[in-house]
Amino acid sequence: MRFIERSEKILESLKNVKYSSFEELKNKINCSISTVRRDIKKLQDQGKIFISHGSIHIKDFPNNKSFYQFSENLNYKKQISEKAASLISQNDSVIINGGSTCFYMHEYINQNNVNIFTNSFILASEFIYKNNIKLSIGGGTIVTKDRLIQSPHNENIIDHLYASKYFLGAKSINEIGLLESDPAIINYDNLLMKRSKKIIVLADSSKFSYIDGCYSSISLDKIDTLITDSNIEAKNIKMLEKYNINVIIV
């Protein structure tokens, strides 16, 4: 079967479901998983489908609420988000980065007169409905797969920011520090880090169990607090405490 025939079957299958997986499409098309992955990549490059967190869909971008609904350890991430939000004070000024765990902070920030800067446009779109939030966003290029805004310019709003806390996540964490897959994200992380008094990392325990990302973002000695869940292993707590990181377990 040629690519054009397989692609028609893939698109037809996706019309009838909200999301699908590589394995499900492989079974429907009756071909190898490697062939499906190649075909999906071509269709994605053509702008006919989207992939978010391993789920494939054909329709418009999912809404903000559903974008992260298939994230691993979602319950833990929401607990971590709630704890992070509790660290914000009335009249505080904070930076909140993109990512699934940081995204859910919008549900729990109820303090009055909080100034928030974010580079996540889906997070920003949630905050605009809250009267207790004064919102600022970065300008630049929209990175659709991560729902972030990245500025290619040296001179921008970041140069004039001040925040008491910078909340961020990571693809994974090890002795080197926070790891990311995109060097542009690292540059942005480091710019934001310099504008904040404290660095607070939101990371569920799975972030320590595998390596995802090949670029070092922020080293462990720069982190003030890390919020994680109760499944974190003792060796990882010991690693964090070696760098005087305040570990909060939810």
pTM: 0.69
Specify the domain boundaries for CATH 3.40.50.1360 within the chain. Answer: 74-249
Tell which residue, 143, 227, 224, 153, has the closest CA to residue 191.
Answer: 153
- Give me the pLDDT at residue 189, please: 82
Q: What percent of the chain has pLDDT over 70?
A: 83
CATH number, domain 74-249: 3.40.50.1360
The residue-averaged pLDDT of 192-203 equals 94
pLDDT bracket for residue 61 (50, 70, 90): very low
pLDDT at residue 198 tops 60: yes
Instruction: Answer whether residue 248 shows pLDDT above 80.
Output: yes
Q: What average pLDDT score do residues 1-12 get?
A: 80
Query: Could you tell me where in the chain the CATH 1.10.10.10 domains are found?
Result: 3-61
For residue 182, the model assigns a pLDDT of 76
Quick one: average pLDDT of 54-63? 62
**Contact, 167 vs 96, CB < 8 A?**
yes
Indicate if the alpha-carbon torsion angle 25, 31, 37, 40 is positive or negative.
negative
Q: Check if the beta carbon of residue 201 is closer than 8 Å to that of residue 235.
A: no
Instruction: Say if residues 140 and 151 touch (Cβ distance below 8 Å).
Output: yes
Binning the chain into helix, strand and coil, the percentages to the nearest 5 are: 40, 25, 40
Mean pLDDT for the chain?
A: 84
More confident residue, 181 or 1: 181
CA nearest 22: which of 13, 64, 73? 13
| pLDDT surpasses 90 at 245 | yes
pLDDT of residue 197: 95
Q: Answer yes or no: CATH 1.10.10.10 is held by domain 3-61.
A: yes
Residue 89 has pLDDT above 90, yes or no: yes
- pLDDT beyond 60 at 227: yes
pLDDT tops 70 at residue 53: no
3-class DSSP assignment, residue 32: coil
Contacts of 182 (CB under 8 A, 6+ apart): 143, 146, 215
**Which stretch of 16-20, 126-130, 198-202 has the lowest confidence by average pLDDT?**
16-20
- Least confident range of 4-13, 197-206, 216-225: 4-13
The three state secondary structure string of 48-105 is: CCEEECCEEECCCCCCHHHHCCCCCCHHHHHHHHHHHHHCCCCCCEEEECCCHHHHHH
- Residues with Cβ within 8 Å of residue 116, at least 6 apart in sequence: 93, 94, 95, 96, 109, 127, 133, 134, 135, 136
Q: Which of 24-28, 161-165, 211-215 is the least confident region?
A: 211-215
Q: What is the DSSP letter of 240?
A: H
**CA–CA dist 64, 83 (Å, integer):** 21
237 pLDDT more than 90? yes
Q: Which distant-in-sequence residues (6+ apart) come within 8 Å of 233 by Cβ?
A: 205, 208
Mean pLDDT of the 86-96 span: 96
How far, in Å, CA of 212 to CA of 75, rounded? Answer: 21
